[in-house]
Structure 1
């Protein structure tokens, strides 16, 4: 009987699918320092971003035949090393795309209407300085007609483009692998609209966008730093719902303080789970604690897709 440790949890529907297929699924989280000992009792493990599966852990877990990542990025797994040891490594790249894209726009709407600061000050000063605050937040802008630059045009980047186009925004996209094709808008009543789009250079995205959002894997060095911020138009807003480390956080703070950037929206950070204090307290930064895929709908899709991949592997 195949035993699976869902160490970072799994949606109940996914768990039920696995159990119906004859698998035993344990969902109690095992701390990282006790993981090697626990894995002696399992044939597979599923994780999200919290559990680390590095070379040392893989070497000490000879019974593991499959690693499943619920979500997109696999920065917490030594994927190629695991595969070289004959371990299957699977993930669910499509399941959370819409949830992440919608969070991007949560940060964008927050930034252009100063909600991150208003929500801090209204409870404290709303009854005594209402008109002062009203004046302070009176210069918001609309997203329609503005240009959204998307760095990284995989599934999440394209879903973000779809939302932007639906709002009437212009889209400039860059990816290491050029794309030319259609973005399909799914409208109410079953109506679909295909909009042609072609990726451009990174320089064009950086220099011509009103807002920039990142959707790239982890990089060895930041994609956006002081040099890139200097090339942007004044007043650009930047959103990162991809990976910590893709933005130089000190350069970001400098650009915000100088007024070069109007705001930032951050869901990911260099030093999770203890982000830089200056980021957490900054009045121009909209903050969320790495919740891009954390919707009920996305978690259900992730659970179902992950369960299907695991069943297919062990039943083949």
Structure 2
């Protein structure tokens, strides 16, 4: 019987579905104990991870029977794709399954940051009444959203933003300016610098690559109009955290929501600590009850199909001898 190792949290119903067909070792603590994970993979045929398990060449070297890696999410920067391809290990992300959760996080963050009134609960509860100070919040309707990276999630963010009356511009070097998605979402394709210069809200949806490291650096943050807000649910390292913290403290950037960081967990001594109008969340923009179910179910189905396909191919080869 094929063995499946799951090293991070997965929805219980999806784990049970896998157990119906395979021997499953489900232990979310494996990500914390690399040596135990390596031992578990010695005779495993599939590995299912989130974003913390590093599927490196060295890890694959200790898993000679591995046929498939399931990724409970969409980013693949924790998986050595070249090493997997070289060993014939297929990789199966949950493309699209958490898009709604991320898109709603972006819109909710934009609403919170532009309006700027939702951090006053303590003042109001203590008898203070900062009505005048909080009366200059801004509405989403009529504001311009810049979507940097116009894949599935970026396109869904654009649709939700347009439904709320926002103007949407986007930038994606992988897409031509006449790609159908621009027309279908009501967004306008522009250069990266033009998108940043006109934005009231900037949201990032690009993978972490050498070309996107510090994509939003000090120089580009300076391009933003005073009072813009920044949202990053993509990957840490895309935003220069030191430069963003400085811009928040000077007031050039009016607010930010960061769900991802260059180093996770975020260190207590981070330059972001204490910066004003800053929402920090622990890499959970794509995690909801519903998205967990969708992501887990989709990855379970794809891993099962990969293992069954490999078994069928092996049977056909043996039958042809």
Same fold (TM over 0.5): yes
* d(CA) in 1 for partners of 2:125, 2:256: 28
SS in structure 2 at match of 1:49: coil
What residue is the counterpart of 1:165 in the other structure?
Answer: 162
Q: How does 1:250-265 map to 2 (within 5 A)?
A: 250-265=242-257
SS in structure 1 at match of 2:104: helix
SS in structure 1 at match of 2:13: helix
What residue is the counterpart of 1:109 in the other structure?
Answer: 111
Contact kept? 1:45, 1:66, Cα under 8 Å? yes
Worse-superposed segment, 166-175 or 24-33? 24-33
What residue is the counterpart of 1:191 in the other structure?
Answer: none
What residue is the counterpart of 1:189 in the other structure?
Answer: none
Structure 2: unaligned runs, 5 residues or longer: 310-321
Contact kept? 2:44, 2:66, Cα under 8 Å? yes
What residue is the counterpart of 1:187 in the other structure?
Answer: none
Aligned residue pairs total 301
When normalised by structure 1's length, the TM-score is: 0.89
What residue is the counterpart of 1:201 in the other structure?
Answer: 191
* d(CA) in 2 for partners of 1:182, 1:176: 14
What residue is the counterpart of 1:79 in the other structure?
Answer: 81
Q: Structure 1 residue 196: deviation in Å?
A: 4.1
Deviations 1:112-159 (A, max 9, x none): 2225643xxx33x4344522x333322111001111000001111111
* d(CA) in 2 for partners of 1:268, 1:91: 19
Choose which of 117, 128, 131 in structure 2 pairs with 1:130.
Answer: 128
Contact kept? 1:280, 1:287, Cα under 8 Å? no
* d(CA) in 1 for partners of 2:265, 2:236: 11
Contact kept? 1:151, 1:213, Cα under 8 Å? yes
What residue is the counterpart of 1:312 in the other structure?
Answer: 305
When normalised by structure 2's length, the TM-score is: 0.88
Aligned-pair RMSD on alpha carbons? 1.8
Contact kept? 1:116, 1:283, Cα under 8 Å? no
Contact kept? 1:146, 1:210, Cα under 8 Å? yes
Q: Structure 1 residue 300: deviation in Å?
A: 1.0
SS in structure 2 at match of 1:149: strand
* d(CA) in 2 for partners of 1:281, 1:83: 44
What residue is the counterpart of 1:70 in the other structure?
Answer: 72
Choose which of 237, 250, 258 in structure 2 pairs with 1:266.
Answer: 258
Deviations 1:158-183 (A, max 9, x none): 11111111111111010121252247
Contact kept? 2:67, 2:307, Cα under 8 Å? no
Choose which of 199, 203, 227 in structure 2 pairs with 1:213.
Answer: 203
